[in-house]
Copies of this chain bind each other. A is one copy, B any other.
Amino acid sequence: SFSVKGTSAHNVFASFDIFKGKAALSLNPVLPTFTKLESGNLVVSRRGVVMLKFTPAIGERRYDWEKKQVFALSATEVGSLISLGPKDSCEFFHDPSMKSSNAGQVRKSLSIKCHADGTGYLVSLTVVNNLLKTKENFIVPVTAAEFAVMKTACSFALPHIMGWDRLMSNMPSGVGRQQS
Interface residues of chain A, those whose CB is within 8 Å of chain B, are: 1-14, 16, 28-29, 31-34, 36, 39-44, 75-80, 82-83, 143-149, 152-153, 155-160, 162-168, 170-178, 180
Besides A4-B172, A7-B174, 7 new A-B residue pairs in contact (Cβ under 8 A), listed by A number? A2-B178, A3-B177, A8-B170, A10-B42, A12-B167, A36-B175, A79-B145
Q: Tell me the minimal C-beta distance from A165 to chain B in angstroms.
A: 7
Q: Tell me the minimal C-beta distance from A38 to chain B in angstroms.
A: 11
Query: In the bound complex, how far is the Cα of B158 from the Cα of A145, in angstroms?
Result: 13
Q: Known interface pairs A4-B175, A148-B80, A156-B164. Does A12 touch B41 (Cβ–Cβ under 8 Å)?
A: yes
B79 touches A3 (CB 8 A): no
Query: In the bound complex, how far is the Cα of B5 from the Cα of A77, in angstroms?
Result: 37
A10 touches B172 (CB 8 A): no
Q: Which residues of B contact A1 (CB under 8 A)?
A: 178, 180
